[in-house]
Amino acid sequence: MKRAGLYMRVSTVDQHPETQLLDLRQLAAQRGYEIVQEYTDRISGAKARRPGLDQMMADARRGRFDVVLAWASDRIARSVKHYLDVLDELNRLNIEFVSFRENIDTGGPLGRAIVVIIGAIAELERNLIIERVRAGMRRARLEGQRIGRAPLELDHAAIQQDRQRGQSIRQIAQGHHVSTATVQRALKKQPALVQPLLLDKTA
């Protein structure tokens, strides 16, 4: 008998996971799974931190169950990339994933094929985004637009004079609206101003 971990997530505190839980318990009974743990998160799908999911993955690494049952794929992950990362880790741990709504089962050939297709689509989407960004940068360069941050313009002579007047590094940085590290670099690059010697012509 395979051991199963059930995962439920609802978006707000006003929703209840009982509907998801009922469906998953019935699915586990139909397949003859032994439910060893149930994990629940009441949190938005966009949130990165999920105590229930984190605990489930920690138990998966300890080998507490053989299959994960979730009510839907979007319940278990905040993005396609996160979803694929979870499936990839479960696969490396030899743990099957079953989605009730989409009827995905990575324990079978069709489920594994769907995961591969989803991964390929996600990779294609990432590559298209990268290409669009690069094309935009090339067009901006051709139009004479600056890419990235503008170079920082410093009055090195004024920084040296402020230092010679006895101002601290922090005071100079505040006065020129830069960091203390920038002031220190400027002082190292620009040699100290040499005060002209007043010669006594009567000597």
Altogether, the residues listed in the chain come to a count of 203
Q: Binning pLDDT at 50, 70 and 90, where does residue 64 land?
A: very high
Residues 160 and 115 in one domain: no
Taking all residues of the chain, what is their mean pLDDT, rounded to a whole number?
81
The answer to whether position 66 is within a domain reads yes
The mean per-residue pLDDT over the stretch 3-32 comes to 87
Please write the tens of the pLDDT for every residue from 119-168: 677 677 778 888 888 888 888 888 777 666 656 677 778 888 888 888 88
User: Looking at 72, 103, 119, which one is the last position of a domain?
Assistant: 119
CATH number, position 87:
3.40.50.1390
Rg (CA), the chain: 31
pLDDT of residue 45: 56
Q: Please state the rounded mean pLDDT for residues 101-122.
A: 77
| Segments forming the whole domain that contains residue 177 | 156-189
What pLDDT sits at residue 152? Answer: 66
Query: Which pTM value belongs to this model?
Result: 0.56
133 or 197, higher pLDDT:
133
User: Which range has the worst mean pLDDT, 56-60, 104-108, 146-150?
Assistant: 146-150
Short-list 147, 46, 45, 162, CA closest to 7: 45
pLDDT of residue 191 exceeding 50, the answer is yes
**Distances in whole angstroms, Cα of residue 180 to Cα of each of 170, 176, 191:** 6, 10, 18
86 near 77, Cβ under 8 Å? yes
Are residues 109 and 184 located together in one domain of the fold?
no
Using alpha carbons, list the distances in angstroms from residue 83 to 67, 97, 102.
Answer: 16, 11, 14
Same domain, 41 and 94: yes
Query: In the beta sheet, which residues pair with residue 38?
Result: 6
Among candidate residues 119, 141, 172, the one where a domain is terminated: 119
Residue 195 pLDDT more than 70? no
- CA 24-27-29 angle, to 5 degrees, is 110
> Looking at the predicted structure, is the pLDDT value of residue 190 above 80?
no
Instruction: Give the pLDDT confidence of 35-47 residue by residue, as tens digits.
Output: 999 999 887 655 5
φ, ψ at 170 (rounded to 5°)? -65, -40
Domain count, the chain: 2
Interval 70-78 mean pLDDT: 82
Which residues are tagged catalytic?
11
Measure the CA–CA gap between 19 and 102, rounded to whole angstroms: 16
Task: Kindly state whether residue 124 falls inside one of the protein's structural domains.
Answer: no
